[in-house]
């Protein structure tokens, strides 16, 4: 079953076409990776899907419903959550309160929201930091908090914008494992990532963007040997390192 359908999506900023006539579909339960060089339009795609920016052309369907142009909170209510490449937690709130805000999207009692937030913090490994202010967290914990905030809204589809990039190897492995468990719980995952270990091991399929256009789509093993993708993004070094 298709959970997300992006059809002819186009967005320009002045003369720069950030996303250009982009079409792809995503199956329910799938982890779909999005890769491409800096400036390829990956984050703009997330902004278009989640209502943070309106497309010039094209449409977004979620579970068959046209959600094009809906506002972010309306998109979120339908079961679509995202993280931000530049983390967006409220700095002067505690870790727990940041996650409780997400839980309030589907809960009305404070007690329930607290219990849900604590459960998620335990799952992502941030429970011990519950009472710390978000502003004092190091980068690894900030990214984990982004994930926890998005998970607290109980999404059917979660969009992760570079949650592994910038983490040390131990943190990266923990994040990869968290994403795997999230998928096992039945959540579909759209994953923007530069860390190849993460994208290649997690993705069921990958869509490659270059100057806002889709230049390839396929399974990780197909993408990693695709000439166009190697030229535009992966580079000869990646192919060489893999063959060693
Ligand atoms: N709000 C904006 N205003 C003007 N230009 C933007 C805006 N957002 C993104 N862009 C431009 O659109 C292009 C795609 O950006 P982005 O989607 O952030 O790429 P990626 O996430 O793949 O690195 C870039 O050239 C970027 O400078
Ligand atoms: Mg980006």
Q: What is the pLDDT of residues 52-63, one digit of tens each?
A: 999 999 999 999
| CA 82 / ligand 1 centre spacing (Å) | 17
Question: Do 205 and 177 have their domain in common?
Answer: yes
Question: Do 162 and 42 have their domain in common?
Answer: yes
Ligand with an atom nearest the CA of residue 38: 1
Question: Do 96 and 29 have their domain in common?
Answer: no
Question: Do 165 and 238 have their domain in common?
Answer: yes
Q: How far apart are CA 216 and CA 82, in angstroms?
A: 24
Buried b (16+ CB within 10 A) or exposed e, 94-128: bbbbbbbbbbbeebeeeeebbebbbebbebbbbbe
Phi/psi of residue 208, nearest 5 degrees: -110, 125
Question: Do 25 and 58 have their domain in common?
Answer: yes
Question: What token pair was written down for 175?
Answer: 């994040």
Residue 234's pLDDT is what? 84
Q: Is 113 helix (H, G, I), strand (E, B) or coil?
A: helix
Instruction: Check if the beta carbon of residue 154 is closer than 8 Å to that of residue 123.
Output: no
Residue of minimum CA distance from atom 1 in ligand 1: 13
Query: Which of 154, 170, 201 is the C-terminal boundary of a domain?
Result: 154
Question: Do 165 and 213 have their domain in common?
Answer: yes
Residue of minimum CA distance from atom 7 in ligand 1: 13
Q: How many domains does the chain have?
A: 2
| CA 35 / ligand 2 centre spacing (Å) | 10
Ligand 1 proximity of 53 Cβ (cutoff 6 Å): no
Atom of ligand 1 nearest to the CA of 53: 1
Q: What is the pLDDT of residues 120-136, one digit of tens each?
A: 999 999 999 999 999 99
Question: Do 133 and 173 have their domain in common?
Answer: no
CATH number of residue 40's parent domain = 3.40.50.300
Question: Do 148 and 163 have their domain in common?
Answer: no
Query: Which of 154, 179, 201 is the C-terminal boundary of a domain?
Result: 154
Question: Do 72 and 172 have their domain in common?
Answer: yes
Chunked in runs of 10, what are the mean pLDDT values of the chain (244 residues)?
A: 98 97 98 96 98 97 97 95 91 96 87 96 96 95 96 97 94 96 97 94 97 97 94 78 68
| CA 25 / ligand 1 centre spacing (Å) | 22
Ligand 1 proximity of 47 Cβ (cutoff 6 Å): no
Question: Do 145 and 159 have their domain in common?
Answer: no
Q: Is 183 helix (H, G, I), strand (E, B) or coil?
A: helix
Burial class (CB in 10 A: 0-12, 13-18, 19+), 185: exposed
Question: Do 150 and 161 have their domain in common?
Answer: no
Query: Which of 108, 134, 154 is the C-terminal boundary of a domain?
Result: 154
Residue 238's pLDDT is what? 72
Question: Do 53 and 164 have their domain in common?
Answer: yes
Strand residue runs (E) in the chain? 2-13, 16-27, 31-35, 57-62, 65-66, 80-82, 157-161, 188-192, 205-210, 213-218
Tell me which residue range forms the domain holding 204.
Answer: 2-79+155-243
Residue of minimum CA distance from atom 25 in ligand 1: 39
Ligand 1 proximity of 54 Cβ (cutoff 6 Å): no
């Amino acid at each position: 079953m298709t959970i997300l359908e992006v059809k002819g999506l186009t967005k320009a900023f002045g003369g720069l076409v950030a996303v250009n006539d982009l079409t792809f579909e995503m199956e329910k339960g799938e982890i779909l990776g999005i890769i491409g060089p800096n400036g390829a339009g990956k984050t703009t795609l997330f902004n278009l899907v989640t209502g943070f920016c309106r497309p010039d052309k094209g449409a977004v369907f979620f579970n068959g419903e046209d959600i094009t142009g809906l506002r972010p909170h309306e998109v979120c209510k339908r079961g679509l959550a995202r993280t931000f490449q530049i983390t967006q937690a409220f700095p002067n709130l505690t870790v727990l309160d940041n996650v409780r805000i997400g839980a309030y999207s589907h809960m009305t009692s404070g007690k329930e929201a607290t219990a849900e937030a604590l459960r998620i913090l335990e799952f992502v490994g941030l429970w011990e930091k519950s009472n710390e202010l978000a502003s004092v967290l190091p980068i690894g914990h900030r990214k984990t908090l982004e994930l926890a905030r998005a998970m607290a809204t109980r999404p059917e589809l979660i969009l992760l914008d570079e949650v592994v990039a910038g983490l040390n190897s131990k943190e990266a492995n923990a994040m990869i494992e968290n994403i795997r468990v999230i998928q096992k719980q039945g959540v579909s995952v759209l994953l923007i990532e530069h860390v190849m270990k993460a994208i290649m091991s997690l993705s069921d399929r990958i869509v490659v963007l270059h100057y806002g256009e889709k230049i390839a789509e396929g399974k990780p093993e197909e993408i990693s040997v695709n000439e166009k993708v190697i030229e535009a993004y992966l580079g000869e070094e990646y192919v060489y390192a893999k063959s060693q």
